[in-house]
Amino acid sequence: MTNENSTSQFKGKTAIISGSAEGIGLSIAKALGEQQMNVVLADIDDKNLQKARAELESLGVPVLAVSLDVADELQWQSVAQQTVARFGKVHMVVNNAGVGGDSGPIESQATEGWQWALDVNLMGVVYGAKVMVPLIKDHGEGGWIVNVASMAGMGGVPYSGAYNATKAAVVALSEAWAEELKVAGIHVAVLCPAFVQTRIYDSERNRPAQYKSKTLNPDEESSFSKKVREMVQNGIDVALVGKRVVEALIEGELYIFTHPNYRQVVQHRFARIDEAFVNASKSPLLQHIVDQKLEML
């Protein structure tokens, strides 16, 4: 339950959420609205965007709905201008918009599909931060950058190379930006959900023409996609995700997890990494640097 003190850090401030016409983005928008924030809904899906705007308005949330293709930096700049014109300042950007990308064996994945995932899942996050961070710095009140990655960014999932790679990149960016931006009072967090009841499996509906591609192994991709669809549909209630994000931001968490039962996946990965370091420390080739002083930037 939210108390008055926790609400006060958000009250009256403004958050921009990409991909917020539905799903995780809308869930986060609602949760931030409950914290008395001004909410800017930004999405490529205008029909559902207007439905989301009406829903938030009915809840008494100050809201602005703007069209946004996150892969277009100029559109991000337009969102920034519209937000400042309406609410005066930007305090938070939630880089949520994402696509599932092509699936299947690497040899069956067309370049266009990879480019789509890179432009939306990775560059969409980069543009969001690049455009909004200066606005947050300018008012000197601090703020937040919340990047939506995935548990797929914490470990590889076969047949989902583009999705894995882009989400892992978002995790790494978030870690780097957390150190870079803390001096400006900007808290960076990365959300890593597992399966949530959204339409991520149907992101093809928003694929622009320039990213259309042919699949060499449609039967295998169809089988994999069907499995993903089933797991997503059996995922956790999307409403929990927005509330979890607020909870984590209040506590100042960097990594925001929604599925504690996936802890063993991360532990297994890092156990293998640690074992690899042990192996390296035993190599005759590397003995001269085993005890060398660690230097970090």
Output the CATH code of domain 4-260: 3.40.50.720
Query: What pLDDT is recorded for position 109?
Result: 86
Whose tokens are 């939630």? That residue is: 94
163 is known as an active-site residue: yes
The larger pLDDT score, comparing residue 103 to residue 46, is at 46
Does 202 have pLDDT greater than 80? no
- For residue 67, count other CB atoms closer than 10 A to its CB: 14
231, pLDDT greater than 80: no
**How far out from the chain centre does Cα 142 lie?**
20
Paired tokens of 57: 């308005």
What pLDDT band is residue 149 in, cutting at 50, 70 and 90? very high
Residue-level length of the chain:
297
Separation CA 38–CA 29 (nearest Å):
9
Contact present, 114 and 102 (Cβ < 8 Å): yes
Rounded CA-CA distance 195/204 in Å is 18
Instruction: Give me the catalytic one of 163, 201, 211, 262.
Output: 163
- pLDDT (average), residues 208-235: 66
